[in-house]
Amino acid sequence: MPRTRNEMQGVVHWLALVAGLIAAIPALAAGDKPPPPTANGAARALVVTHGPVATQLTTPGSDGHQLGDQRVLTATPIFDRRAREVGRLDAQLLTTSIDYPASGDEVRMTTLNFVFGDSSGLLAGSPDQIIVSGSGYYPRQQGTIAGGLDLVRPIIGGSGRFSGASGSALTEHLGDDSWRHTLRFILPVRP
């Protein structure tokens, strides 16, 4: 049991954080708008999907299996759970290891930029963005992770209504070659 005022405040802080995280669960399941902020930050969950993608190898003279290879994903529309277009995804991948952990495998560092807004904002450069960055294993000759697999990477920040976002993103390459990204994050309390 807490004995001091500081210990009590710590318990209250912890309970508020847990309440915020629990409040995010219905939004994730229903695909609705995120829950309102708590005293310590707003726990959010967004799920977006998109169709099949093709990355383009931009490294001159490469066979696609070289250290430093860069692949780019052109602007790809993203959709909410109700199949409404809510923005776009831009991405780049950089090969940092080859034949690791096994022959034919690669490690690639990836940056995913989720841009939210209507079509006029998308064309102009919407301020509402979430940035995901991390690394994972990729098959040698594929531009993306293999179908049926998933990858968790950190959310490293955001801008606009997502300013200060931190958390993680689960990317799933579904069996029908479509994609689902589950973004779970906390936004700081704004004065």
- pLDDT at residue 159 greater than cutoff 60: yes
CA dist 184 and 27 (Å) reads 11
Summarised one tens digit per residue, pLDDT across range 30-42 is 444 444 445 557 7
CATH 3.30.70 fits 5-187, yes or no: no
pLDDT, position 119: 63
- pLDDT at residue 142 greater than cutoff 90: no
- pLDDT at residue 4 greater than cutoff 80: no
CA dist 75 and 181 (Å) reads 16
Mean pLDDT computed over every residue of the chain: 81
Mean pLDDT along residues 132-148: 88
Element at 20 (helix H, strand E): helix 5-30
- pLDDT at residue 178 greater than cutoff 50: yes
pLDDT, position 123: 58
Mean pLDDT along residues 21-27: 39
- As a whole-number percent, the residues of the chain with pLDDT over 70 amount to 75
Structure tokens at 111: 């940056």
pLDDT-based confidence at residue 188 (cuts at 50, 70, 90): confident
- pLDDT at residue 9 greater than cutoff 60: no
Mean pLDDT along residues 171-179: 95
Among 33, 7, 28, residue whose Cα is nearest residue 167: 28
pLDDT greater at residue 67 or residue 118: 67
Among 56, 51, 46, 2, residue whose Cα is nearest residue 24: 46
Q: Is 114 in contact with 44 (CB distance < 8 Å)?
A: no
